[in-house]
């Protein structure tokens, strides 16, 4: 994964991709990608007063990434026992660290983050993509967006994408993490956008531009 990421992040089009996605320097009438609002909508899903519970704003935020939480599951998250269980897990998932700084135990199978992902993934008509996007909204610095396009670009490593990405970011004295921060600054992307989100957008935009027929 590390080598593939290096290739994608070093493409000459990456800065333009990031600016286009986040609507930076666009001509009058230009529209950024809706996903550019994932982290910022309503002040963000990880702001202290809501960091440990899902809100209706979070459910709307993931719609900017072209997914919708089924209504029955949404109600259970907002008003039912599912929301209570998720809040208990969110409470012990670190909020103020980047993935590169995390311990393996924060991301490994059986961790609170992995248990929250599994709990969401197991809900009717949710699945792994929506589960991951919901958690990326709540912990944007720690947990990445991982969808079918990113999986097509970077593969499906075992035991988990999280651990593989964590390892890749730490190689060579965190060279990829530094590269992501440099890209963020060079593109003019706000510092409130996490390095993980810069990574996801850069990979997604490049792979999509190459017109790969990603399996569903």
Read off the pLDDT band of 209 (50, 70, 90): confident
Nearest to 153 by CA among 139, 137, 165: 165
For residue range 25-47, list pLDDT tens digits in order: 988 888 899 999 999 999 999 99
- Arithmetic mean of pLDDT, 46-52: 97
pLDDT at 215: 74
pLDDT at 27: 85
- Arithmetic mean of pLDDT, 54-68: 98
Show the tokens assigned to 88.
């208990």
Read off the pLDDT band of 15 (50, 70, 90): very high
Nearest to 185 by CA among 171, 195, 175, 172: 195
The DSSP symbol for 47 reads: S
Contact between residue 99 and residue 196 where contact means Cβ atoms under 8 Å apart: yes
For residue range 1-13, list pLDDT tens digits in order: 899 999 999 999 9
d(CA 197, CA 100) in angstroms, rounded, equals 13
| φ/ψ (deg, to 5) at 60 | -70, -40
d(CA 42, CA 136) in angstroms, rounded, equals 15
Show the tokens assigned to 127.
């699945």
Cα–Cα–Cα angle for 157, 17, 176, nearest 5°? Answer: 45
Nearest to 165 by CA among 41, 18, 46, 8: 8
For residue range 105-159, list pLDDT tens digits in order: 999 999 999 999 999 999 999 999 999 999 999 999 999 999 999 999 999 998 8
DSSP string, 5-40: HHHHHT-TTHHHHHHHHHTTTPPTT----GGGGTTT
pLDDT at 183: 98
Q: Is pLDDT of 77 > 80? A: yes
Q: Where are the domains of the chain?
A: 2-209
209 class by beta-carbon count within 10 Å (0-12 exposed, 13-18 middle, 19+ buried): exposed
Nearest to 180 by CA among 99, 113, 64: 99
d(CA 10, CA 18) in angstroms, rounded, equals 13
């Amino acid at each position: 994964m590390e080598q593939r990421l290096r290739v994608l992040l070093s493409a000459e089009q990456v800065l333009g991709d990031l600016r286009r996605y986040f609507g930076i320097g666009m001509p009058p009438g230009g529209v950024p990608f809706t996903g550019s609002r994932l982290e910022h909508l309503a002040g963000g899903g990880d702001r202290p007063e809501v960091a440990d519970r899902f809100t209706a704003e979070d459910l709307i935020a993931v719609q900017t990434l072209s997914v919708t939480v089924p209504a029955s599951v949404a109600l259970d998250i907002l008003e039912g026992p599912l929301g209570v269980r998720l809040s208990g897990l969110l409470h012990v998932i670190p909020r103020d660290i980047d993935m590169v700084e995390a311990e393996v135990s924060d991301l490994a199978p059986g961790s609170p983050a992995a248990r929250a992902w599994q709990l969401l993934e197991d809900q009717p008509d949710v699945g792994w993509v929506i589960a991951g996007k919901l958690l990326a909204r709540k912990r944007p610095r720690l947990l990445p967006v991982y969808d079918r396009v990113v999986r097509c670009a970077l593969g499906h490593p075992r035991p988990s994408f999280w651990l593989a990405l964590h390892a890749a970011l730490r190689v060579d004295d965190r060279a990829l993490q530094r590269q992501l921060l440099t890209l963020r600054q060079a593109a003019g992307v706000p510092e409130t956008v996490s390095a993980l989100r810069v990574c996801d957008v850069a990979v997604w935009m490049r792979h999509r531009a190459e017109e790969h027929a990603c399996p569903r």
